[in-house]
Every structure is written in structure tokens, then in C-alpha cells.
Amino acid sequence: MPLDPQVKSLLDGLAQAGGPKLHELSPPEAREVYRGLVAFDQPEEVARVDNRVVSNGDHDVPVRVYTPLAAVGGHAPLLLWLHGGGWVIGDLDTADATARALANRSGAVVVSVGYRLAPEYRAPHSLEDCLAVLMWAVQEAEVLGVDSDRVAVGGDSAGGNLAALLCHRVRDDCGPEIDFQLLVYPVVDLTLSHPSVDENAEGYLLTKDLLRWFVDCYLGDQDPKSGAVSPLWAASLADLPPALIITAEFDPLRDEGEAYAEALRKAGVEVQVTRYEGEIHGFLGLAAILPDGAQALEQAGAALRAALH
């Protein structure tokens, strides 16, 4: 299928604007540029937004709690949302519009996590922050107005990587039960060896060079084939929560996301995978201007409702 015309117009506009590429900047500079790229988002209203801080040893993790307009039942389900950005860029503000939309469409209280970023903090610091927030959210369920027996985790891109790894950690370390995982164009194989990485290496917002920069910042000299950082390389995928995996046709990460869905299926995990034809990496976060992004949010919300209600 050809590239979505609205996406093409967006990409053409970015190309005409010029300027350095993200991987040519320092991480702090790249974070500022990325914040500017999502500045056009128009966040929708939710019932309540609370900024909190969660202690993880000697580090405080900022979190933002979104209560949906119409929570179903007395206590709403919980969705832990982990933002994208290659573990290097992104924060609570860049994830704000998506977190609000998911709260309203799922009926879940969304806890968005401002985990530590690389290269200042390499793996596994970000995952440890996410685990600490999950434990906190379950322990503080009454205060947050959530049902600790109905828990989902989700994330886009690098956040999808962390969400998948969090399910592995909880399974292996007997943490709180996770009922569902929402993985939106996730990074699941940090070797960057799947065909779509080369097929979509240039011209579709997320490039191969940018991916490599993200991985290098995040891993340093760590092994990308380790199941501790690449979910697809885990020793076992059995007994993981049911999953919805969303991919995009013109995304370097397309093939690994779909390979992970197939590997989960072979391991006996219930999984649905949807490829959005004509779309690029990041399209969910462009829901304000892309109909497919809005449709993907509706799909994600419906899947969360079905799994958690």
C-alpha cells in the first residue's frame, strides 16, 4: 500500500524545514527538538490529572496519573503507560495526549512513567524505574482508585520494549499479576537485524541511523542479544499476559514486532497483531492529525476494556 498521503505531507514538510537530524545532536538537544515535534498535540479532557513522585532507591521517578472521564465500576483498572523515544528522548509531557486518550477509551486509570533516560542512565535503569512504579501503583491502589487485580502495561516504541520486559520480570520474579500488554510498534530485538530495518531505513521519520544511535546510547557495551534488553531473545515467552501488538507498514521496527507476536503465539500466549498499512513509526502519537492514529487508539482502548473489564 502507498504511504498515507497525510503522512507524506508531514514528512515533506519536515524535510523542507531542514535542520540537523536527531542523532547528530546531543541527547539534551534531541529531547528539546522532540518536544517541539509533539507541541501541536491537543490533549483531551480527563476527570483528573495528578503529578506524583515514586521513590526507587536513591532516585525519585516522576509519574502522572490520569483518571478517565467515565471509569467503569467503583475502582477502575490500572494501565501503566511507558512512553517512547528510544530510551533517550521523551517524557511525561510528550506522552500526555496519548495517556489521556487511552484513559478515556479504556476506562482505566493511566499511570504514565517518567523513567530515567540514556545515555546518562543506561539499561537497566529505565526498567527498574518502571518496575518500582508498578509495585507502587499496586500498593497504592486504594489511594489511586484502581483495582489491583486488573492491571495492564503498555508502551510505544522503546516504551513497548520496557512494557514487554516488565511482563518478563513480573513473571520470573513473582511480582504483581499483569493481565494484558499493549505493545505499540515495540523495539523487541536490539540487534536491528530484521529486513524492515533496511527496507525502511530512510525517509520515514524513524531511520536506521537514529535507531542505531538510540541503541548505542541505551546499551553501551551490553549485549543486544540478551533477553534482559531484547524480549525476542528471552529464553522463554511462555506464561506471559495476552497481548495486542500494533505495527506500521513503513516502520523499521515492523518485522520484529510481528516476529514477537508469532513467537508469543508459539509459546501459547494469546496475541492479536494489527499492521496499519501506509503508516509510519509514531503514527499513534499523531492521532490529532492522522485518522489511522485515532483508529489505533480506539482499537487499543477496546482491547484494554475487553481484557480488564
| Residue 266 near residue 210, CB atoms below 8 Å | no
Give the pLDDT of residue 74: 65
180: β partners: 152
| pLDDT tens by residue, the chain, 309 residues | 899 999 999 999 988 988 899 999 999 999 999 998 776 567 899 999 999 999 999 999 999 999 999 865 568 999 999 999 999 999 999 999 999 999 999 999 999 999 999 999 999 999 999 999 999 999 999 999 999 999 999 999 999 999 999 999 999 998 899 999 999 999 999 999 999 999 999 999 999 999 999 999 999 999 999 999 999 999 999 999 999 999 999 999 999 999 999 999 999 999 999 999 999 999 999 998 999 999 999 999 999 999 998
Phi-psi region of 57 (alpha: psi -120 to 50; beta: other; left: phi over 0): left
Using CA of residue 198, residue 199, residue 203, residue 207, what is the dihedral sign? negative
Model pTM?
A: 0.97
Using CA of residue 79, residue 71, residue 100, residue 111, what is the dihedral sign? negative
Q: State phi, psi for 12 to the nearest 5 degrees.
A: -65, -40
Nearest 10 degrees: Cα torsion 54, 55, 56, 57:
180
Q: Report the distance separating Cα 20 and Cα 274, nearest Å.
A: 33
Residue 139: partners with Cβ closer than 8 Å, 6 or more residues away: none
Q: Report the distance separating Cα 302 and Cα 296, nearest Å.
A: 10
Give the pLDDT of residue 117: 98
Whole-number Cα distances in Å, 203 to 88, 198, 207, 253: 21, 11, 7, 14
Give the pLDDT of residue 108: 97
Active site residues: 157, 251, 281
Q: Please, where are the H alpha helices in the chain?
A: 5-17, 27-37, 96-106, 125-139, 141-144, 158-173, 195-199, 208-219, 254-266, 291-308
Whole-number Cα distances in Å, 160 to 21, 130, 183, 256, 258: 23, 12, 5, 12, 13
Name the burial class of residue 248, with classes exposed (0-12), middle (13-18) and buried (19+) by CB atoms within 10 angstroms of its CB. Answer: buried
Give the pLDDT of residue 34: 93
Give the pLDDT of residue 268: 98
Could you say which of 3.40.50.1820, 3.20.20.80, 3.40.50.300, 3.30.70.100 is the CATH number of the domain covering 5-308? 3.40.50.1820
| Residue 91 near residue 122, CB atoms below 8 Å | no
How many CB atoms lie under 10 A from the CB of residue 176?
16
DSSP 180-232: EEEEES----TT--SHHHHHTSSSSSS-HHHHHHHHHHHHTTS-TT-TTT-GG
Q: Which of 226, 207, 27 is nearest to 116 (CA)?
A: 27
Give the pLDDT of residue 39: 63
